[in-house]
Amino acid sequence: MFIICGIDTSFDDTSISILNKNKVLSNIRKTYNFKKYKGVIPNIVSKKHNFNIIKIFNKALNKAKINIFQLDLISVTYGPGLIGSLYIGIDFAKTLSVIFNKPLYKVNHLHAHIFTFLIKNSFLKKKKNIYPFISLIISGGNTYLSVIYNFFNIKIYGKTLDNPLGEIYDKIANLLNFSYPGAKKIDKYSFKGKKIFDIKIPFIKNFNFSFSGIFTKFKNLIFLKKYCIYDICLSFQEIIFKILFQKIYKLVKLTKIKNIFITGGVSCNKYLRKKFYICSKYYNLNFYFLDKYIEDNGAMIANIGYIKYINHIKYDNNIYPVPKLLLNNYNL
């Protein structure tokens, strides 16, 4: 056995997981309700992390049926995320590391999303020799398109130039008066839509993304109050899919890589998954989506800690939050 504790408090979830190598023994996650605020309030969520983190840690240990002395390693998210939220997780991890003399690894939250598929039973499809693969991260705080050659070799091709995709979903949902978080309702309503509006895809050079123009167009449509809400949701989903697929397929043609992993909270979207599945058949591509550990969680943080350990990466207790941490080969 080799027991790892993963801690993630990067945004609005307090999550702690216990792994035995790459097998999840427990994954406790508490999400906070910000419906009345129509969005996350940073100082409030920090207080909630602080109030709950010890309880969640104890629940994770109990479910895994281990005690604190059996931990071999601790890993914690150090960015990107809300600075106050990150501080809570880092301080807690440092305290455990010092008191119980356990090695501590810092983990890039984005890096963790990419390699979640290495967790045992994280998705049904299994494929050997998956490298290299194309990675698309679509979440509330980030949008990245990359090629992953191995754990230590990532090449970034594109990222959002303005708002991340998850944020755009939240803004559209807010305009439609959906309770926060409203992205799931957009997804649900899109299956009831019948008409797709003719909206041009904004031209953005290279592989970067820009969603602010799309938001403005749909904001104007919603304010007109003459279109069916189901059709608005369907049309929004359709244009988002086209933007994502256009960039992915452009990268496929450049690199000849046909394995594509899509991760991050927005990848839960059923409509987008359906559209990617249809295109996989037509264009002979392999799209992979996680079945578990899709949204922010401690399991993916513990997983990276274990990978770093077996690759003899030096651990360090000198960890500080980096709210705007980038995805690259240096910020592992």
> Do both 210 and 245 map to the same domain?
yes
Asked if residue 316 is part of any domain, the answer here is no
% pLDDT > 70, the chain: 97
CA distances from 89 to 81, 104, 206, 309 (A): 11, 12, 37, 20
Which of 69-83, 100-114, 187-201 shows the lowest per-residue confidence on average (mean pLDDT)?
187-201
- With 70 as the cut, is the pLDDT of residue 326 above it? yes
Domains in the chain, number: 2
> Do both 232 and 144 map to the same domain?
yes
β partners of residue 15: 8, 29
Asked if residue 244 is part of any domain, the answer here is yes
* DSSP 3-state of 27: strand
- Mean pLDDT value across residues 319-329: 94
150 Cβ contact list (under 8 Å, min separation 6): 131, 132
Confidence category of residue 110, pLDDT binned at 50, 70, 90:
very high
- DSSP letter, residue 321: -
Confidence category of residue 34, pLDDT binned at 50, 70, 90:
confident
Distance CA 9, CA 84 (A): 9
Asked if residue 329 is part of any domain, the answer here is no
- With 90 as the cut, is the pLDDT of residue 181 above it? no
> Do both 235 and 138 map to the same domain?
yes
Which of 25-39, 83-97, 99-113, 127-141 shows the lowest per-residue confidence on average (mean pLDDT)?
25-39
Q: And the tokens for 97?
A: 């590391």
- With 80 as the cut, is the pLDDT of residue 134 above it? yes
- Return mean pLDDT, the chain: 93
> Do both 99 and 191 map to the same domain?
no
> Do both 253 and 187 map to the same domain?
yes
Asked if residue 130 is part of any domain, the answer here is yes
> Do both 131 and 110 map to the same domain?
no
- Mean pLDDT value across residues 52-80: 98
pLDDT of res. 201: 85
CB-based burial label for 184 (10 Å; 0-12, 13-18, 19+): middle
> Do both 142 and 182 map to the same domain?
yes
What range defines the domain where residue 89 resides?
3-114+294-310
pLDDT of res. 155: 97
Asked if residue 318 is part of any domain, the answer here is no
Residue 135 identity (one-letter amino acid): S
Instruction: Look up the pTM and report it.
Output: 0.94
> Do both 225 and 239 map to the same domain?
yes
- Mean pLDDT value across residues 197-219: 90
Q: Specify the CATH number for the domain of residue 49.
A: 3.30.420.40
Asked if residue 66 is part of any domain, the answer here is yes
> Do both 148 and 106 map to the same domain?
no
- With 90 as the cut, is the pLDDT of residue 147 above it? yes
> Do both 76 and 103 map to the same domain?
yes
Reported as a single tens digit per residue, the pLDDT across 77-101 is: 999 999 999 999 999 999 999 999 9
Q: Which of 42-51, 88-97, 322-331 has the highest mean predicted lDDT (pLDDT)?
A: 88-97
Asked if residue 42 is part of any domain, the answer here is yes
> Do both 258 and 160 map to the same domain?
yes
> Do both 82 and 190 map to the same domain?
no
pLDDT of res. 226: 84
Nearest Cα neighbor of 16 from 67, 76, 73 is 76
Asked if residue 120 is part of any domain, the answer here is no
